[in-house]
A and B are shown apart, each in its own frame.
Chain A
Amino acid sequence: MTLTEVRRAAPDAVVARGLTKVYGEGDAAVHALRGVDVTFATEAFTAIMGPSGSGKSTLMHCLAGLDTVSGGSVHIGDVELTGLGDKQLTMLRRERIGFVFQAFNLLPTLTAEQNIRLPLEIAGRQADQVLFDRVIDTVGLGDRLRHKPAELSGGQQQRVAVARALISKPQVIFADEPTGNLDSRSGAEVLAFLRTSVRELGQTIVMVTHDPLAASYADRVVFLHDGLLVSELSQPTPQSVLDTLLTLEA
């Protein structure tokens, strides 16, 4: 497939072709990604799974422009990431990408509301008040908006982080183990919220996780093993995800 064809096939939010990532040199070289071809559809909730060391976090970092790639290409919408400078990558993250991390998602000095509005402020954009109200409504944090992160529970903090990612209407949201630090009830809330934002707000979400239960909330799961894309599932259930994983480990 040539570049022009990719651009014309724009409905895909993120496209990676022949992606490789090597850390270190010579004998010490670690091949984290060995040529990954993967496409993430717009308005879909996709999970990236794989055992520890499979390269799933590296893949996400490369897709999001947080890390440089050793070979291959990454497109977010119609923009190719490979070859962009730090400034351009920063602008791209501002305009088109939202993030939810496993922990330490919020600035402790800002209130929940200030944290949510932060990406817009950094970009110097006005918040869409209708969207803001709707996001807040969906997150269900109306009465806690003026609290500092330290005064919120872990689940609430992650929901604030998701709301922050949603508020700038990014082309894609990358979530890195968003439920890794949460108890199962809070985790379920956050995952449900992620799914709602795809269904109701038309958001595109790519989530890295090692939890089959979490992956089962997604529309599609891709499996990574030793730096290669080895399998994928549509409409996963916890059981089908677990089965696939067990096959991989074997």
Chain B
Amino acid sequence: MLRTTLAGLLAHKLRLLLTSVAIALGVGFIAGTFVLTDTIEAGFSRSFSADADRVDVAVTPGDGGKGEERPTVSPAHLAKVRAVPGVAAAEGLVRGTAALVGKDGKTVGDLPTTGVSIHQGKLNRSTITSGTAPRTGQAVLDENTARIRGFAVGDTISVLDSARKTRSFALVGLFDVGVDQQLAYTGAVGFDPETAREMTGEKGFVELDVLAADGVAPDRLRDAVAAALGKGYEVRTGEQLAADLAAANGANSRLLTVGLLLFGLVAMLVAALVIYNTFTILVAQRAREMALLRCIGATKRQIFGSIVLESAVVGLISSALGLLVGLGLGAGALAVLDAMDVSLPTGTAALAPRTIVIGLVLGLLVTMAAALLPARTATRVAPIAALRTQVEEHTFRTGMVRAIFAGLFLLGGLGATVAGLVMDPGEVALLVVMGGGCLTFLAVVVLGPMIVRPLSAFAGWLPARLFGVPGRLAVANSRRNPKRAATTTIALTIGVTLMTLLSVLTGSIRMTYGSQLDEQFPVDFVLATQEGDSTMPHSIAAELRSRPELASVVQIRGAEARLGEDRVDAGAFEGPFDVTTVSGSMRGFTAGSVAMADRLAEERAVKPGDQVALTTPKGGTVALRLVAVYDGSASRIPPLLVPVPAFEEYFGEVGDAQIMVNVADGVAADRARVAVEAAGQAYPTVRLLSSTELRSEFDQAMDSQLMVLAGLLGLAILISLLGIANTLSLSVHERTRESALLRALGLTRPQLRRMLTVEALVLGLIGALVGVTLGVVFGWAAIQTMVADPLFDLPVQQVSSFVVLSGLAGVVAALLPARRAARASIVGSLASG
């Protein structure tokens, strides 16, 4: 039996090729994920240990309890460590804000750059890539920042110190931040330790690095240092530190692995459907072969075994291929990351033994599991079938069991979805809705064979009219075997559903955010500082008011106060600003009164007319009358407002936290921008935001996210196309004589090709239509559970392009099968089968 199976496989290499490709792609994606994350992880731990090799013992502050500030190690402790016997040298690492000023006079980036201390000698852990380490009056920049901001060694750079005063340094070198994600994100300026403390205003150190004297073992020194410092500090050897850092980082890359694997599993699921369908068709086509085997004495068990064995061989070979694909994918992804200058360590891609085992086992299991049902069908072939000539048409009747299962799934799915929708928006509700989505999808899978007929009539309506006789024959063919058509299209449906879901989600989130942005940002420009906690002098607003290009200027000040025990952000505004009141009125908003955002008022259970006690730094605790409650979500104003004179009385002289500017009618946006920029020019940390810029930044972020996800889902769609091509070529094989008959009756070769192409087009459209419907419905449901008061946006263009592309993809999938069918000789085909 084994020999028969293998001979059969060899004889039909081609028909299993597409199946193999489907499995190989799925396994390849999963293996590629492991290759990528393994390499990155190995790179991280390599650079961590290289980094930590230079240190014998490292001291980091403990968790520091509930302190608001980042805990640090004080200079006094540094002195203590230096005094420990066996310590050759000890240095404290300084890290804090030191904003680099760009060539335009503004601080660079969205976040201020980080100032770090760079030590001379052996304890220097930074890699200076060009120039020298900084001494007093000098500084170094990280390579990326220098390149992006256009600085070179020899330039003079300006950096803001902790009092926001500009100071100049000679740029003497560039350094590599290595795998430090924080520094890579903000950009870094390095100073000598003393200057670093001055510039950042940090009093303590984030870490103490200790070098052991000759002959002192690191772990003994660690114990000695720990004893000298007492509790509250974490003292580790360099090796331990490296291991801990690598472990912490591993958690991050595991998240990436899990995320990517999810897409890999979707691809495998689609591949499993393709395999299932292929084996079902193969078994149907080989019914006579099986029957002959049964006639000459093969048992049912042997027939079953031969199909399972066949799937095992196919699964094993294609999984091995998949591992190679994975190696290629991983290496490719690393190359792309490298080219994009992402600050990730890269290395040579390699297949870990675990990857090989997982890839092979997964590929094998999925293939064999998918072949089980077809194998069981094969055992039902009666020996007498060997003597029948005519292939029976597969008529499909809706079974009771099928209907009941579909009903149950559908009920469960819709029930869960509705339950999720009724819940308060949040993660749980989202999960419930997604669970409902999965159940509904299962219902569609079960219902597939029943709905394929009406759907093909719908999707084929236009093609049948456009393409004449071939078109009509094609539509009829697409529905002749509903089970097969359903499985083929479901594979495509998975990909399209997820794509549509994503695009509906992105569209809706974008629209929701956009409308919130309009409400919060009813102004053309906002001036704010780079760091949230600093303020702008009132002179900026005064200057802006004097500009004829600008219609209105609103200043917002903010300060911290207390309501009872709780801290609250209090504020005041000056200028023409309409507060949207929910209850009460702003008319009585004078000395001795206060207004609150709706959320805060609800939290405190107060309503207009009530008294509230506000504790302020200068005014002590004052009793204020609540006059109005306003819509807090709709604007950028603080949740508690007092009139300006009262604010000054309670908090003293405080600068503006934000200035909102509206442009006068008829003034061009760029002219207005110049005017606004001029007012803030003298203040490096003042940033200018415009509503259009904010929105386009957000749009860009959403778009690139959608593109990445769509790319990952593209694989699942590719596999499902292989499925369509596979089904079609097997169907073509099955219908060889039918095609020959049509040719004899006068169908030209192009017409025959067109007929098969239209059939694939209709299959593609069916898959897309179901996918789009599910995607839109569950995209809508999901967005309801994600944010309060969501807006729903159906990106019609995107979604309809999915439908069009699916149809086109079907056409592409039909190219080869159709060509082969059209080429076949009529006489030969008539004789065959």
| Interface residue ranges, A against B (CB under 8 Å) | 61, 64, 66-67, 86-87, 90-91, 93-95, 99, 101, 103-105, 107-110, 118-119, 121-124, 148, 150, 164, 181
Contacts and interface: CB of A to CB of B under 8 A. Distances in A.
A150 B737 contact: no
A119 B476 contact: no
B390 A99 contact: no
A97 B168 CA distance: 97
A118 B472 CA distance: 11
Nearest to B392: A150
A93 B744 contact: yes
B746 interface: yes
Interface in B459-479: 468-469, 473, 476-477
B746 A90 contact: yes
A103 B744 contact: no
Contact of A93 (B390, B469, B746): B746
A104 B737 contact: yes
B743 interface: yes
B702 interface: no
Contacts of A181: 389
Interface string B66-104: 000000000000000000000000000000000000000
A51 B473 CA distance: 38
Nearest to B752: A90
B741 to A, nearest CB: 7
Nearest to B743: A90
Contact of A103 (B390, B477, B745, B747): B390
B390 A104 contact: yes
Contact of B749 (A67, A86, A103): A86
Interface SS, B side: helix
Given A90-B743, A99-B745, A123-B746, A109 B737 contact: no
B442 interface: no
Contacts of B393: 108, 148, 150
Top 9 closest pairs, chain A to chain B, by CB: A94-B746, A109-B476, A90-B748, A67-B827, A121-B469, A93-B746, A66-B826, A122-B746, A104-B737
22 contacts: A67-B827, A87-B749, A90-B743, A90-B746, A90-B749, A91-B748, A93-B745, A94-B746, A99-B741, A99-B744, A104-B737, A104-B738, A104-B741, A104-B833, A107-B476, A107-B741, A107-B742, A119-B746, A122-B745, A124-B468, A150-B393, A181-B389
A64 B748 CA distance: 15
Contacts of B747: 90, 122
Contacts of A105: 741
B476 A110 contact: yes
B395 interface: yes
Contacts, number: 74
B673 interface: no
B745 A108 contact: no
Contact of B473 (A61, A64, A67, A109): A109
Nearest to A176: B830
Given A101-B830, A109-B473, A150-B395, A66 B746 contact: no
Contacts of A148: 393
B745 A119 contact: yes
B480 interface: yes
A118 to B, nearest CB: 6
Contacts of A124: 468
Contacts of B745: 93-94, 99, 118-119, 122, 164
A201 B737 CA distance: 30
Contacts of B749: 86-87, 90
Contacts of B473: 107, 109-110
Given A109-B473, A164-B745, 15 more contacts: A61-B827, A66-B744, A67-B825, A93-B745, A94-B746, A99-B744, A99-B745, A101-B741, A104-B390, A107-B738, A108-B738, A109-B477, A122-B742, A122-B745, A150-B393
A67 B827 CA distance: 7
Nearest to A58: B827
Contacts of A90: 743, 746-749
Contacts of A66: 744, 826-827, 830
A91 B745 CA distance: 9
A101 B738 CA distance: 12
A22 to B, nearest CB: 15
Nearest to A108: B393
Interface string B367-383: 00000000000000000
B130 to A, nearest CB: 72
Nearest to A123: B746
Given A90-B748, A122-B745, A109 B480 contact: yes
A87 B748 contact: yes
A110 B476 CA distance: 8
